Amino acid sequence: MTSLIVILAVVFLVLTILVISKTQTLLKGVKGKTEEENDSVVDGANNSNAIGLFIFWIVSVIGVVWSFNYAKKDFLMAFGDMPSASSVHGKETDYWFWFGITVITLAFFLVNSVLFYFPLKYRYKKDRKAYYYPHNNTLEIVWTLIPAIVMAGLVFTGLRAWNRIMSDAPEDAEVIEIVGKQFSWMVRYSGVDDEKLGNYNYKLINDSEGNEFGVDFTDEHSFDDFTSNTELHIPKGKPVLLKIRARDVLHSVFIPHMRVKMDAVPGMPTKFWFVADKSTADMRAELGNPDFKYEIACTEVCGRSHFAMKLNLIVDEQADYEKWKKEQKPLLSVKPEFIDKVPANLKAKALKYTGGEAAASDSTTTAKPLAASM
């Protein structure tokens, strides 16, 4: 591709030099010539320029079509190895994207074809007199209204889709927090007991203690929260609300197959909700690739290892997702010492997530036979 660009640059440079040279030759040619001789020189130059412009347009069209076909397998989401969107809203955005591209492409070829054809058709000819056509109100209205109506249609349909996609998440949405830091993603889930994500406070972030999220254990909703730094699981067919934030610099959550992209901004939490309609298993079957995994990438340059800031996304069937959630251990279970951060009036409730309640129950159970024997 680089070689092609260099070749085209050289070709255009040569053409520019030829045009300048031709202009100088033309100027020299008209000096001291009769009117008929000058007309002949000018007519020849006009023919050359008009034909050259039209040939340039034809070559440009061929180049555009070729480059589109060359790039589509790697960059265009609707072609090549990238299948259709794996989310409900993604299919809508894809539709309007390609609708807009189609309209713009048709307008581009139509306008430029006329633009390059007119110099050829209406080039100077000695025996032809130019038609004086200074103004036409009807024509002005038509070529103003048609683009205005088309553009307004694109804008308002796009705005309606945008408002629908960026609306508040449904109340039954699965709430998951994803936090970016140099150079990894961290994920926190609401537990299975209350389905609510606990509060956090950036002042409580302490990596050495294991509280990477700054979870606030004075909020009882945080007791059953659990975390993962290796992969993100979401259910198929259920709304998922991603609560997004960054710990250090600007990051950006990008899930290409889901058509999800939202910046993670330090000090300014963002969010994005969507519904995945293809599980990981569905995609593996569709692509014929048993090793396929959805990927979350960072698309905001965030430092030296930005390229490596990735996280696997697993889309489970609803039943499998619920089963997986129940198998996870809450933060209080992984880090029992966090119980010290729980207010006294909530410790009894928090103990069941640390195993403390179970331990107390076991000790009571074993103590009874001893008491009986005495």
Residue 357 in this model has a pLDDT that exceeds 70: no
Among 101-115, 276-290, 331-345, 355-369, whose mean pLDDT is lowest? 355-369
Tell me the pLDDT band of 82, cut-offs 50, 70 and 90.
low
With CA atoms as reference, report the closest residue to 218 among 234, 203, 199, 232: 199
Residue 7 or 41, more confident: 7
Q: Which pLDDT belongs to residue 40? A: 62
Residue 182 in this model has a pLDDT that exceeds 80: yes
Residue 370 in this model has a pLDDT that exceeds 60: no
Q: Which pLDDT belongs to residue 367? A: 32
Q: Which pLDDT belongs to residue 75? A: 58
Q: Which pLDDT belongs to residue 23? A: 67
The pLDDT tens digits for 276-295 are 999 999 999 988 889 999 99
Q: What is the pTM of this model?
A: 0.75
Q: Which pLDDT belongs to residue 362? A: 40
Spatial contact of 200 and 339, defined as CB atoms under 8 Å apart: no
Q: For residues 358 and 142, what is the distance between their CA atoms, to the nearest angstrom?
A: 79
Tell me the pLDDT band of 352, cut-offs 50, 70 and 90.
confident
What is the average pLDDT across 135-162?
A: 91
Q: Which pLDDT belongs to residue 132? A: 81
Average pLDDT, the chain: 84
Q: Hey, is 239 helix, strand or coil? A: strand
* Region for 137 from its dihedrals, namely left if φ exceeds 0, alpha if ψ lies in -120 to 50, beta otherwise: alpha
Displacement of CA 143 from its chain's centroid (Å): 34
Residue 29 in this model has a pLDDT that exceeds 60: no
Residue 181 or 120, more confident: 181
Residue 245 or 373, more confident: 245
Q: Which pLDDT belongs to residue 194? A: 82
The pLDDT tens digits for 298-344 are 999 999 999 999 999 999 999 999 999 999 999 999 999 999 999 99
* Region for 66 from its dihedrals, namely left if φ exceeds 0, alpha if ψ lies in -120 to 50, beta otherwise: alpha
Question: Which residues does residue 312 pair with via DSSP β-bridges, in sequence order?
Answer: 231, 295
Q: For residues 236 and 87, what is the distance between their CA atoms, to the nearest angstrom?
A: 9
Tell me the pLDDT band of 130, cut-offs 50, 70 and 90.
confident
Q: For residues 309 and 181, what is the distance between their CA atoms, to the nearest angstrom?
A: 9
Domains and CATH numbers, the chain: 2-125 (no CATH), 174-354 (2.60.40.420)
